[in-house]
Amino acid sequence: MLRITVTRSASGAKKYYSGLYYSEGKSTQDYYSDKDQAMGTWGGKAAINLGLEGDIKKEDFGPLCDNLIPGSDQKLTPRNNSERRVGYDFTFNASKSVSLAYTFGSENDKKQLLQAFHESVTETMTEIETGVQARVRTKGQNENRDTGNIVYGEFTHFTSRPVDNVPDPHLHTHCFVFNSTYDNTEKKWKAGEFGQIKKDAPYYEAVFHATLANKLQSLGYSIDKTEKGFEIAGIKRDTIEKFSRRTEEIEQLAVEKISLIRKINLD
């Protein structure tokens, strides 16, 4: 599954995406133990333009949240007010059977599954990157221009938020895409136009599912298609549900809220 959400708070972005990983103490939102998270890494062509490659450092991530060029006091994009969109969280979720196969597999299985998952995320993000645009408002123009570059931080986790203090296996990656792209025609950084990408989210989700399924099949796994994607064949439904307590909790909460809304409407 692919979920895309907007982040408008620079402090919130820094706390969750930076402080979560690099603060000396545990934040209140840190629901992962050290073994349940992977070091963040930079991605995107625009990251390379800024000299950002490899492991993410707090001193680089923080300034970008504040719309500053890392290592300087210069603004990255022109707009810098309180209503500015800081970035977009592209969350890639492996199906529960894949998470279980990773959690309970051999060390070699873990390595192969994680590599397949990472490659699928990267290839999908590359596809997404080609669709990024920036506004063009010079010389009376009122259109969007393809830029094809983004800068994002990629963070991978292996568990869900705990239920009764116990997390379930849940392999997923957050790709936090900063709201910036380089317009090579005008030779300057601009806010990105992500509206069409959000509309096309079902397409990108399908790309992710197809890419991951193909890679798993090449490793020898059999795949069963489902309504929302696929599962690894041979892992029973009741086993999947047993390790999906967070999903069950969310669905139950949704049912309760819908019932409350209906009751209010009837009253």
Residues 6+ apart with CB under 8 A from 219: 112, 113, 116
The shares of helix, strand and coil residues in the chain, as percent rounded to the nearest 5, are: 45, 25, 35
Question: In which band, very low, low, confident or very high, does the pLDDT at 255 lie, cut at 50, 70 and 90?
Answer: very low
The reported pTM is 0.80
Decide which of 67 and 164 is more confident: 67
pLDDT digits (tens, 9 = 90+) for 142-167: 788 999 999 999 988 887 654 445 56
Cα distance between residue 189 and residue 47, in whole Å = 12
Residue 84 in this model has a pLDDT that exceeds 60: yes
Amino acid of residue 203: Y
Amino acid of residue 231: E
Q: What is the pLDDT of residue 239?
A: 65
The alpha-helical segments, DSSP class H, found in 8-156 are: 10-13, 20-22, 45-49, 58-65, 96-104, 107-130
Cα distance between residue 204 and residue 200, in whole Å = 7
Residues 6+ apart with CB under 8 A from 1: 92, 93, 95, 205, 228, 229
pLDDT digits (tens, 9 = 90+) for 11-21: 878 876 654 44
Residues 6+ apart with CB under 8 A from 12: 86
Question: Among 172, 5, 202, 175, which residue's Cα sits nearest to residue 96?
Answer: 172
Question: Among 91, 130, 126, which residue's Cα sits nearest to residue 211?
Answer: 126
Best CATH choice for the domain 2-236 from the list 1.10.10.60, 3.40.920.10, 3.40.1410.10, 3.30.930.30 = 3.30.930.30
Q: How much of the chain, in percent, has pLDDT values that exceed 90?
A: 49
Q: What is the pLDDT of residue 136?
A: 85
Cα distance between residue 193 and residue 195, in whole Å = 6
The alpha-helical segments, DSSP class H, found in 15-106 are: 20-22, 45-49, 58-65, 96-104
- Domain coordinates of the chain in residue numbers? 2-236
